[in-house]
Amino acid sequence: MVKTIRLGDPGGERIPLDLDMFPRTAVARSLKEVLVPESWDFARKRAYQSAGYACQHCGKTMSDGAPVYATAVWQFAEECVDGYFVQKLVGVIAVCSECFALKRMWPGLEEAVPRLAEVWEVSCEEAYQRVMEEERLSEERSLKLWALDLSWLEDWGIPSAVKDPCTRVIRDGAVMGEA
C-alpha cells in the first residue's frame, strides 16, 4: 500500500520508484488533466519546492541537466463509496523525465526491466515478476469503476477545483459528477 506523501521542507522525502500502472477504468492518469490550471500550478510548484527541485526518486536536479516534472501518486483502494472504488491521491512529487518514463514503462518491457532491476536492487527476474504482478493488479482493477479522492490537496492547503463538472470526485463522503 502506498503511503501518503508529505509536502514538507525543501530537500524533502525521497520515494522509492514505483510503477504508474492505471486500470483502464481509472478516472484519470494525470492530475493536470483533472484540476483547473490554477490548482495544478499551485500543486506542482509546492511539489518542486518541497523536493528542493530534485527528482524524488533518483535525486537528479535541474542543474544535473535533468528536467524535473511534477506527477501525482495514486492509490487504488479497496474501499467503496456510493458503489465506486476509490482512486485516492496520496501525493504530488517531483520526478525527472527519465524516472517518469520508467514509471510508465515507456521504454518497453525489454529495456525497462534491467533498469528497474538496477533501481530496485533486485535481479532482472525479480523485476520482471514485479512488473507482471503490477500488470495483473491493473487488469483486476480494470473490472472496477473508480471515483477520485482529492482530499490530499486540501490537507496541504491546495485548492482542488476540477475542470470538468462530470469528473467523478468524492466530496463529503458522496460521489459527485456522476455522468
Q: Where along the sequence are the contacts to Zn ion (CB under 5 A)?
A: 55, 57-58, 96, 99
Q: Which residue has the cell 532482472?
A: 124
Nearest 5 degrees, angle CA 23-CA 29-CA 30?
Answer: 165
- Minimum CB distance to Zn ion, residue 51 (Å): 11
Nearer to Zn ion, 96 or 170 (CB): 96
- Minimum CB distance to Zn ion, residue 114 (Å): 16
* Residue pair 162/177 in contact by the 8 Å Cβ criterion: yes
* Residue pair 167/28 in contact by the 8 Å Cβ criterion: yes
Nearer to Zn ion, 102 or 162 (CB): 102
Nearer to Zn ion, 58 or 131 (CB): 58
Separation in Å, CA 105 to CA 3, 51, 110, 144: 22, 23, 10, 23
- Minimum CB distance to Zn ion, residue 66 (Å): 6
Nearer to Zn ion, 47 or 162 (CB): 47
- Minimum CB distance to Zn ion, residue 99 (Å): 3
